Amino acid sequence: MNKLSSTPGRWIANFRSWLSVPWMAGVITGLFAAYFAVFSDQVVEAPFLVAAENGHIADAILAGRGFADPFGVPSGPTAWMPPAFPYLLALLKAATGDDVQSLVRLLWCLRLATVFVTCLIVLDAGDKLNRWLPATVILCGGLGFHGRELFEEHSESWFYLAVANGVWLAECYGRRVLMTWSRAIVVGAVAAVAALCHPILGAVGIALRLYGTCLERDTQSVSDTRTDQKTKLLHLSLYLLAAIVIILPWTIRNRYVLGAWMPIKSNAAFEVWQSQCLDNDGLLDNLTLASHPYSAPDGLRLRFLNAGEVSFQDWAWQESWQSIQANPAGWLQRVGHRFVAACLLYQPTHVRGEPQPALLAIKRVVSSLPFLACFFLIVFVRHWNSTTLPLLVNYCVYLTPFILISYVDRYALPLLTVKLLLVLSAVHTILAGDLRSAANANRSASFHRRPAG
């Protein structure tokens, strides 16, 4: 008995039981934070850590001009960016007395909290699947791949990752508990707040709820199916009503102040114009971004100031639509380039210079793993667990607008947690041997396949 209790297997089991998920998440977050704090020269020293337009709008809010002036010069009220992050920045600047170093440290702590939650989600999934070691390896690989975006780059991508994590956790909560009218309202409110942070993340939340209402397999008896469907539709109605009530005031504000219906943000037409008329391959790079109104005071910014925000967007949409009509094949080619860049072949923006060939090759291999995991799960997996299809819905709904409209590599960072969970799900399936035979794979009329409970 004593010998058995001291075997290496028992030691590993005891060590694993001591390593709780929060403890492991904290250690991994701390190690990455320490690495970038020691070896990075951009963590605290940068004078302007926040995303450009958001920061200027926050300054306008603090100065009493309201939600205005996205490019740092007087231009009046705006809807160029979604409202949540600028208001959060204004609150943080007010709390720190607009001291740059204090704001930098506070934002650094919020980034660490975002990474910590990502670690919790992935490690918890690995623990439930009894695949904690693959989950740890996948998590560390993902954080290493996106380390610069998470810890260094002075953009709002980390904030969108935090919002994406919130949307996913809200949906997991909505699927795991008995949904009531009050819980439906709460989950709908989360989706609405997500939309005010990032419209596509709001769409992801709505898509996941529609899946949970309409497509997820019922566990009720046949006699209760009709009542259950009525209850689900009632909860979905309350969910959508809560979302509309929260978003509608901002939409009305845009209509009243700007004179046009803009549900959340106004620059979608400009995003289309950038990739369709300004860039030659449909992928935003440093040359394209250098022509942005924020970066080009004598170019597009001057046009924006002279025309006004609404007229500027109308011009961008007309130019884009004329370009698409004149050359539909060119638009499809750009869509193809964006699909490859978003799903298969990592394309750097070259803001810091082109990476070394070996590093670029590694990044391209790693970046293709989530899409390959999706393909593997769809084609070769015999039984899906309860989160596989929601993960696929999340992945597709988030990336599709960027593939159709405009894409740069940092746009994909909010999908980090979902990508890691997809890779973990594929690895778990391989290790469990839950694969369909080649004959069944070839006959994958998967319309008839439903996710296993």
Would you list the DSSP string of 268-318? HHHHHHIIIII-SSSB--HHHHTTSTTT-TTTHHHHHHHH-HHHHHHHHHH
Q: Is the pLDDT of residue 220 over 60?
A: no
Return the pLDDT at 192: 95
Between the CA of residue 214 and those of 170, 233, 322, 351, 384, what are the distances in Å? Answer: 18, 9, 39, 44, 17
Strand partners, 77: 68
Residues 6+ apart with CB under 8 A from 137: none
Q: How far apart are CA 238 and CA 244, in angstroms?
A: 10
Q: How far apart are CA 220 and CA 240, in angstroms?
A: 24
Q: How far apart are CA 57 and CA 54, in angstroms?
A: 5
Residue 50: pLDDT band (50, 70, 90) is low
**Which of 50-59, 378-387, 414-423 is modeled with the greatest confidence?**
414-423
**Are 149 and 157 a contacting pair, CB within 8 Å?**
yes
Tens digits of residue pLDDT in 362-374? 888 888 999 999 9
Return the pLDDT at 8: 52
Q: Is the pLDDT of residue 138 over 90?
A: yes
**Which of 258, 257, 276, 259 has the alpha carbon at shortest distance from 268?**
276
Average pLDDT over residues 184-197: 92
State the angle between helix axes of 199-210 and 225-258 in degrees (0 to 180), rounded to the nearest 10: 160
Q: Is the pLDDT of residue 440 over 60?
A: no
Q: Is the pLDDT of residue 210 over 50?
A: yes
Q: How far apart are CA 50 and CA 408, in angstroms?
A: 18
Residue 22: pLDDT band (50, 70, 90) is confident
Return the pLDDT at 359: 76
**Are 250 and 67 a contacting pair, CB within 8 Å?**
no
Instruction: Give alpha helix (H) positions in 129-224.
Output: 132-145, 147-151, 157-176, 181-197, 199-210
DSSP tag of 355:
P
**Are 190 and 254 a contacting pair, CB within 8 Å?**
no
Return the pLDDT at 1: 42
Of the two residues 296 and 260, the one the predictor is more confident about is 260
Q: How far apart are CA 271 and CA 376, in angstroms?
A: 32
Q: How far apart are CA 420 and CA 281, in angstroms?
A: 29
Average pLDDT over residues 205-234: 69
CA 158 to chain centre: 9
Average pLDDT, the chain: 81
3-state DSSP assignment of residue 386: coil
Token pair listed for 369: 């793993």
Average pLDDT over residues 208-215: 80
Average pLDDT over residues 65-80: 90
Tens digits of residue pLDDT in 105-118? 888 889 899 999 99
Return the pLDDT at 225: 55
Q: How far apart are CA 221 and CA 19, in angstroms?
A: 41
Residue 164: pLDDT band (50, 70, 90) is very high
Return the pLDDT at 371: 95
Residue 12 burial (CB count, 10 A) = 11
Lowest mean pLDDT among 62-71, 135-144, 435-444: 435-444
Average pLDDT over residues 56-70: 92
Q: Is the pLDDT of residue 266 over 80?
A: yes
**Which of 37, 216, 215, 7 has the alpha carbon at shortest distance from 115?**
37
Return the pLDDT at 441: 43
Residue 452: pLDDT band (50, 70, 90) is very low
Q: How far apart are CA 299 and CA 292, in angstroms?
A: 8
Of the two residues 31 and 227, the one the predictor is more confident about is 31
How many distinct helices (H) and strands (E) make up the chain?
Answer: 21, 0
Q: Is the pLDDT of residue 4 over 60?
A: no
